[in-house]
Structure 1
Amino acid sequence: MTLEIVSAGPMLTVQDAGRFGLRHLGVSSAGPIDRAAMALANVLVENDPAAAALEFAGPAGSFRCTRPLRFAVAGADCTIRIDSRVVPAGESHRLNPGETLTIGLPDSATWAYLALSGGIATLPVLGSRATHLRSGLGGIGGRTLRAGDILPLGEDRPGAACLRPESRLVAAHPFPDRGPIRLILGPQDTAFAPEVIARLTECPFTVTPQRDRMAMVLGGTTLPAAAGHDIVSDGTVPGSIQVPGSGMPLVLLAESQTTGGYPKIATVASVDLARLAQLPVGSEVRFALITAAEGEALWIERQARLRRILAALAPKAEGVLTSDYLLSCDLVGGIFDPEEVMRPIMPRSQMEQAG
């Protein structure tokens, strides 16, 4: 029960929820850049939301399996092919031995996730299968995946249904949110003059090509620190916005170091960190300030929304129209063309023959 990597894109890694409780030892969590997207991909194939899946930026590559499995891609729309047949992101599909799955570039986003029924069963390292590239932990040798790698898979439930969201998601993501990225000031905001603090919300920033799983650099607006850009190293977390001597803010992500010696002007609210990380190079970024209490309330509400979306996944039609499938559909919600219902299960030629 394995998955073969036939070809691999440049940032294909194994990720699960991450390793926690080790930051005091200098070990950051790793795990997915976009947790909600990975959770959606996993639950679409009936995995635990935290199960190990594949994260990719750029084209994912191509894959073959040694047993029938279900797969789902979430986080962004991508061109997905089973041999020559194109299938959509944001719902699960079947892949059989002898077929080749090929997944292209995420559209209008940076990171996406491929989940496989049963999950990826590489050996845990420090309690997690997550790949931490900078320290060489987890996954396969702590590195990006490459052609020829063989990934073990966990136990699957034969014959289980493929799933889809209750209503189609925008860009195969549970949260197509818009608006400014919300920040909480500090802990070293007093190192910056009031007019520099004001730039956070008054001026646009730009996503630069300087980015990886550790951090992303923003350009377009600089944030000079009146008190200098060197401090006694203290703790950092994903979302910390460090400002080095260049004045270009550096937003820490999943593989962030656990301490740092640059002043931190603010922290990205957890509810918006993945949305910022998903922005393609060249995107304009605007910020808004909120309190820590507001950020906590937004995160709690967002997690409740995610639970509702995952709980509402429904079986999709496969081969025949079943009563379970029909009951899961909105049959009075504006269907004017019978092909809208029949397209997933019956080719046009068969529909024409059926009259």
Structure 2
Amino acid sequence: TQRPWSYADPLQEQDGMEKFKWQRQGIPFGAATSYVHLEKLREGSCATVYKGISRIDGQLVALKVIRLEAEEGVPFTAIREASLLKRLKHANVVLLHDIIQTKETLTFVFEYMHTDLAHYMGQHPGGLNSCNVMLFMFQFLHGLAYIHQQHILHRDLKPQNLLISCLGELKLADFGLARAKSIPRQTYSSEVVTLWYRPPDVLLGATDYSSDLDIWSAGCIFVEMIQGQPIFAGTSGTHEQLAKIWAVLGVPTEDTWPGLSKLPNYNPELVASRRPQRLRVICDRLSRVPAAEDLASRMLTAFPRGRISSQDALLHGFFSPLPPQLYQISAGQSVLTVPGVRLQPEICDLFASYRKGHLSGGSSKFW
């Protein structure tokens, strides 16, 4: 039996979502029996993700099973994620197919993606092929520009939340911390974003952030794809994280960051004065990729209002080698439908393929 949604549930506000009783070939949406669990993919503190298959159309799906506490009911983060994802229709945002609610669980049925960016980078250490960085980053910013145009902040961008298909399609996922952006601006929580990808303004306690929050996180991920390791990998909390950022960008002042001294966690005694460095000094691989350092520096600016927007970042010269047709595709169209756009072999795959071909006496696939 399914438990009714509470009166405050935003899902009830959308006509097509009330009970998910759409029918196809006699098998209903919204029913647990419509999906078969194949294997567990990962387990978290409040949810478990399974690979599954839909009995409705035979497609692979990802089943995010959220355990419900009897007294607390449906977690607000789950309600927020579902209500936002039902609004978002874009090739670079993960697609929510269905929602199933029982007394014990709430299950989100997503399109199946083969891996995430964190796992992909782990399989290809030392930095990714620059062509693939360009392809991934374009899709990342394409999806980000779309949600920002819809006045939505993701607030938890990290490699684990960027899903990748076997063809190289990249999609934003995990909107549990996402928020609809208010106009006029309102204050939000400063406890968002995994520490390594959290911007200095939020580390200093700012709560009036906007889309610039996501841009900082995206810039960190951009550099990580090129360099092969996180740019600001703190281990002991907020103060160390800020020190790592200041070591690269220099310590800001009221001249470079108006309003800095008014932030809740600002304390000039906690950091020694430092001069800014070129990003390529810290991340040497940036200098090998044309225009990469300039784009990264425009995203990783301490003053939040100084960061480039996702829409402007798409027009940056870093992406000039890509086909111009990419800028004409519709929101629902994959970039891989544009001729000549495809995932390239990573260098470690090339070497592995070469060694395999050399040792077996055959020819390598890529050489």
| Structure-1-length-normalised TM-score | 0.27
Higher relative contact order (CA 8 A, sep 6+): 1
Greater fraction strand? 1
Greater fraction helix? 2
